[in-house]
A and B are shown apart, each in its own frame.
Chain A
Amino acid sequence: MAAPAQTPILLLADIDEPGLATREVYERRGGYESLRRALAMTPEQVLAELEASGLRGRGGAGFAMGKKVSFLPKGSIEKYLVCNADESEPGTFKDRELMQKTPHTLIEGIVIASYAAGAARSFIYIRGEYVLQADVLDAALVEARQAGYIGENILGSGHTLSLVVHRGAGAYICGEETGLLDSLEGKRGNPRLKPPFPANQGLYQGPTLINNVETLATAPTIIRMGGAEYAKLGTETSTGTKVVSVSGHVQRPGNYEVELGIPSREIIYGLAGGPREGRAIKCWFPGGSSSPVLTAEDLDIPYDFDSLGKAGSMLGSGAIIVVDDTTPILDVAMKTAKFYRHESCGKCTPCREGTNWTVKMLERIDAGEATPMDLEIMASVQEHIIGNCLCVLGDAMAMPIGSMIAKFREEFEAHIERARMLRGVSDVAGSDFALAAQGALQEHPDGRLAPIGAGEQAPGEHRGEPGTQKGGA
């Protein structure tokens, strides 16, 4: 791995090497050596390495992986390991790349983790849309079985593991761990009440370890480097490297592996090339569409779990979505809210109704039927969703929408006024919109209002130009 010193590449190392998806090439690159090393240790030693690494779950919640494994009861009780490959968080596509290009890394990680947890049956729950990736995994699985990495008495260690690739059928909620378990049991993917947590009572009522693809795929690296050595990467509480998916209004969207704790600016501008020519960043989601938005002022926040948490957002699944100043914030809010409305499973009232009413209120704003007071109501709806449901799907809408209302209030109000004016009901004397109604201002094609004949102004005048918003929370 001859990558630059400041960027240790662990997961994506030579990921485009031809044939890396085959066991032959993977082994030539040192694949499955970590598994041999792990099987030579006791399960407790493997667990100790995982705990020492400080690896935090890469799926969204950021829970320490080693700790999760240690929560499983000991003894000969039938335990399960489930790999969450139902990657559906908008903006996230890291697991897709890992599974498609280096499926054996995931399989090796699953065997190592199952050895530490004492699980004899494992499942990869992959979203149904990932057809190619599931085929690649199936093919890799056949090879792994032939080589004896999966099956009975793996490499003579006495550890036994079965692995099944289970294809979902399109439901965001099945990425939630208990919804996933229900779906894997052949039911509708409704989340369950917690506790009991899956570690005690999960799949088929047995103790279950559920981890994200990236988390499990990191296990071989940890065994190779040693937990303590791995923990030196990143920051004290966010160790290691992370594959970040950058998308939206950037010049080079894609997956980038970064050491946790580097400035967010370096990812968005350095790696992904920043916004398009002549545009400025209006806001960005640091961890998928469920994370509260940040603005251009927040670009210097280190990209790790705690720093983003302190800034009022979260690292989530590590998916940065950049929105530039050409997009009205209402459009972003509407897309976000409609997504969660569609994906709400309908089990808990605050989420089912809250997502629906939020969409309706946003539509009212756009139709010119709203007043600024509706923003208060909408913000309070969000507060009433958070923490009141079985799972966090409702929260995942409430947090970003709440943050948009808080940070782009002026723009929302302007939008309300403009829409009312266009409907002919504006009554704010002297406002831009009242003036426009009198013919003193005209609407430019891009939606700005300007005095007639004033010509082109800098874009972003009425659109919450970055820097004019109050950042942070």
Chain B
Amino acid sequence: MTPRGWDTPADLEKDPATIPDPSEVEVPAALREEIEQHMSHYPDRRSATLPALAAAQRLHGWCSPEAIEQVASVMRLTPAYLESVASFYDMLETSPRGRHSIYVCTNISCSLCGADELYAAFAARAGEGVGEEPLNVRSFECLGACDIAPMASVDGVYIGPLTTEDVPRVLEDLRAGRDVLPEKQLARRLVADPHANSREFPEHPVHRLTLPFDPEVPPERAAFGPPMGALEEDAADPPAAIEPQPEHHEEDAS
């Protein structure tokens, strides 16, 4: 089925979309599980909106109407609410984009060091795409890595300082599914302060950071106790919509 885009004109005769009926929306099991896990972390399940939309975007490539509907079905929120949130945040895409993204920081510090030329170089080659997928090249506001200016975040991996000559290598690595420009990754960079590291370490600190994660151990659901919203109780019966209720519950005096 071809995705219905946001560009289609609104049908003013139609009632606004309500919370989707769970029996009518097919949600991939992995996505459902991930969203439910996020919801269990918070006293109010609505807090899981951002992680849930991010998870749906990873699956669908963007916050498509289908993606929004699936999240709405699991979270018991209206699609309009989710779309209003998705359209606020830079990292949630509300139009089809490539699955691979290159964010080039073009804020002050990076642009003082030549980020605008770097962005132009990436943008010029964005059309080539990665395999079948288009490539999502964007100029981004400060990514918080001015020490490696000018820099880019390639699928979330920070690399810099870059020159326009690095552009072909980055695209090559991305297409080959390799680690992108390993020698320029932020993860390997030492702190600039000469006084910070006082001793000689036994082995050289320059290595790719390995996470002390045991992939076998599932992330914990909640640290303790049932969430304030008592999600477990609601699990059998889908809870009512959040929006129609008053925003804030005042403490009842009675």
Contact = CB atoms under 8 A, between A and B. Distances in A.
B1 interface: no
B5 interface: no
A2 B109 contact: no
A336 B112 CA distance: 12
B207 interface: yes
B149 A129 contact: no
Interface stretch (A61-69, A252-260, A389-397, A463-471): A252-260
A247 B198 contact: no
B146 A248 contact: yes
A16 interface: yes
Contact of B146 (A13, A162, A204, A247): A247
Contact of B90 (A21, A164, A170, A249): A170
Contacts of B199: 2, 14
B146 A169 contact: no
A18 B211 contact: no
B223 A93 contact: no
B21 interface: no
Given A131-B157, A167-B50, A142 B220 contact: yes
Interface in B190-225: 190-199, 201-205, 207, 209, 211-213, 217, 219-220, 222-225
B141 to A, nearest CB: 6
A162 B141 contact: no
B191 A97 contact: yes
B60 to A, nearest CB: 15
A246 B113 CA distance: 13
Nearest to B42: A164
B196 A12 contact: yes
Given A87-B144, A135-B211, A129 B91 contact: yes
Contacts of A247: 109, 146-147, 149
A9 B157 contact: no
B241 interface: no
A336 B197 CA distance: 34
Contacts of A12: 191, 193, 195-196
A188 B54 CA distance: 15
A93 B193 CA distance: 13
Interface string A162-174: 1110111111100
Nearest to A168: B50
A167 B212 contact: no
A132 B157 contact: yes
Nearest to B145: A93
A335 B113 CA distance: 13
Contact of B111 (A100, A127, A335): A335
A163 B223 CA distance: 7
Given A167-B54, A185-B44, A90 B196 contact: no
Nearest to B213: A139
Q: What class of interface size applies to chain B in its complex with A?
A: 35 or more
Contacts of A184: 47
Interface stretch (B27-35, B81-89, B162-170): B81-89
A245 interface: yes
Instruction: Classify the interface of chain B: helix, strand, loop or mixed.
Output: loop
A5 B194 CA distance: 14
B46 A185 contact: yes
B122 interface: no
B153 interface: yes
Interface in B122-172: 140-149, 153, 156-158
A234 interface: no
Given A14-B198, A145-B220, A152-B224, A255 B144 contact: no
A17 B224 contact: no
B153 A248 contact: no
A15 interface: yes
B154 to A, nearest CB: 11
A424 B214 CA distance: 68
Contacts of A138: 213, 219
A272 B109 CA distance: 14
Contacts of B90: 169-171
A167 B51 contact: yes
Contact of B108 (A87, A129, A168, A248): A248
B108 A186 contact: no
B74 interface: no
A257 B143 contact: no
Contacts of A16: 190-191, 196-197, 201, 205
B172 to A, nearest CB: 22
Interface in A8-35: 9, 12-18, 21-23
A178 B85 CA distance: 16
Nearest to A7: B195
Contacts of B42: 164
A145 B147 CA distance: 33
B103 interface: yes
A100 B211 CA distance: 11
Contacts of B201: 16-18
With most chain A CB atoms within 10 A of its CB, the pick from B89, B109, B197, B228 is B109
A31 to B, nearest CB: 14
Given A132-B187, A169-B90, A339 B107 contact: yes
B43 A169 contact: no
B116 to A, nearest CB: 9
Given A89-B142, A187-B49, A327-B112, 14 more contacts: A3-B198, A96-B144, A127-B144, A129-B140, A142-B219, A160-B224, A162-B223, A162-B224, A166-B47, A169-B50, A186-B46, A247-B147, A253-B147, A254-B192
- When A and B form their complex, which 10 residue pairs have the shortest distance between CB atoms, in order from nearest? A254-B192, A247-B146, A170-B90, A186-B49, A131-B156, A162-B223, A169-B89, A170-B91, A186-B46, A12-B196
Interface of A: 1-4, 7, 9, 12-18, 21-23, 78, 87-93, 95-97, 100-101, 121, 127-132, 135-136, 138-140, 142-143, 145, 150-152, 160-164, 166-172, 183-189, 204-205, 245-249, 252-257, 271-272, 285, 289, 319, 321, 323, 327, 331-332, 335-336, 339, 342-343, 345
28 contacts: A2-B198, A16-B190, A16-B191, A17-B197, A23-B212, A92-B142, A92-B144, A127-B144, A129-B91, A129-B140, A132-B209, A145-B223, A150-B223, A166-B51, A169-B91, A170-B91, A185-B46, A185-B47, A187-B46, A188-B84, A247-B147, A248-B113, A248-B149, A249-B112, A254-B193, A256-B193, A257-B196, A342-B141
